[in-house]
Structure 1
Amino acid sequence: MDKTNEGKDWLEAELEDTLDEDYELELSEPALSLEIRKIYKNAHPETIDRRTYFHELIRLQSELIKLQDWVAYHKKKIVVVFEGRDSAGKGGVIKRITQRLNPRIARVVALPAPTDREKTQWYFQRYVPHLPAGGEIVLFDRSWYNRSGVERVMGFASADQVEEFFNDVPEFERMLVRSGIILIKYWFSITDEEQQMRFLMRIHDPMKQWKLSPMDLQSRVRWEQYTKAKEEMFARTNIAEAPWYIVEGNDKKRARLNCIDHFLQQIPYEPVPHEDVALPDRVFNPNYERAVLPPELYVPRKY
């Protein structure tokens, strides 16, 4: 076989490996209730076909790499806030954004509930250390908007604390923008019926049950309270310097593509100079003898 065909076979193998990684993210647990599958299928129109979805996803991810290079080269700072109802698809989009990026440049912040000490701090204080330095992209999987959402609805914050938050957050975000941070805020929107279906699927799927928390289950009971909280949040925090963008999330695949495409449109990134990369020749030392390692150091070849 000539070298051209060898190169082609190698490239095809690499592409197949890449697609396998994508398919892994899409797999459903076989133990998922067949009845839930049937209901879900009947409740949804035909989604975007798989070939088109992966073609567009890989194209958009290649653009994200160009964006990453631009951010690193120009020492830009980007913050992306992902908010929305439980199970709205925030995590799925974040996974696709970061999947092929350098984790030293693009990182995800998903903070747990505040500690007793953090509860006594200035509210924004625990978020500030996670803000980006030059050449970094930070994706907040939930953010300071917890105060206007779950903390408010579940009674973890008083009415005075919520009001103080609404008074402070516009200026806080203006300060971030003035400091040179590009701030983008996404709200993932799904219908009542869609959230119910996704919760049922998580209950019946052993690989997804960890995603359900007592707070998630309470969000079903308090759907209308969350809706009112969201509406006031939009009314009081949709500022010109950092507007909200709503992603329709009932169709997960379309939501991912639409959000990534929109995110790329918000950043004026351009190609940056790259040094040519050449693989250097290996240095062979005729006096070096490779040591034979004991077999117990090796992972068993079970597969």
Structure 2
Amino acid sequence: MVQAAGHGCAEQANGLFIKPTNSTEINFYTSMSALDSPLTDLMPNFLGTLAETKTNSNESNSTNTSLSTPVLDSSLSEQSCIVLEDLCEAFEDPAVLDIKIGSVLYDSHASEGKKQRMDKVSQATTSGSLHFRIAGMSLIIGGNRIHYGKDFGREATIENVASRISEFFKPLTSEYKEYILELSIGYLQQLEKILNEVKIEMHSSSVLFIYENNMEKLKSKFEHINSTGNESMKYDMNLQLKNKVQIMDMRIIDFAHSQCAETIDNDCLVGVRNVISAFESISSGTRPRYEINK
């Protein structure tokens, strides 16, 4: 998987994405699956964990690594690996944008030192003012892959963050850009609806956007989807599934600090609504109308 931010130790193979994680993230995936939460529709497919087990005998010690589907277990090793679908597998050359949502970047278990550090990051960036921040971006322009690091997002302001997000669509023609923006907004609105219903608490989770950055492949996919001839369904994201062709995808990821809660997560909801405003402003060419935390 092409990385837009973080996961430096993650691996991919045979359509799988494997990354080190903690028991909190494993339990969150397991809980959402057990509850049949609508949020799972926008989460990566959860395939289980890679657990290392050691067996001792008088003759030898051996280590066995196997894929297993976990149960809720707060004692899971902090070094456990989670196995997910590789979201980039469906794309020849994926362009990837990672947007971190929420203004509180730590959970209740964080040390006072970490809380202070993360509060400073939030206050100094759009995480604090807009409840979202660009975490990273990777795309191909002129045949070269360009990576935008964390400073690209940390240096963004209320005034220019939408402009910085628009860089993500730079390789696209106006027609492809419009199509992918409409699909992205549709996914975001679906996420907003779900977050208005599901009682969870998320910190430092991200919304990940991916689109086909290979222009020849994109053209072929675009023509295939639009061969339905139904103009009114042009921007229906379900057409991708019906035609078994993926032009773009959006998922919510990173749940190392997430859990079920008694209420909905208003912090993340404001962030998602502001991301929608940014995308709509890029599409319409108008100024975004944010909910600003002053």
Q: Which has the larger radius of gyration?
A: 1
Same fold (TM over 0.5): no
As a proportion of its length, which structure holds more helix? Answer: 1
Q: Which has the higher contact order (CA 8 A, sep 6+)?
A: 1
As a proportion of its length, which structure holds more strand? Answer: 2
TM class by smaller structure? under 0.3
Question: TM-score under structure 2 normalisation?
Answer: 0.28
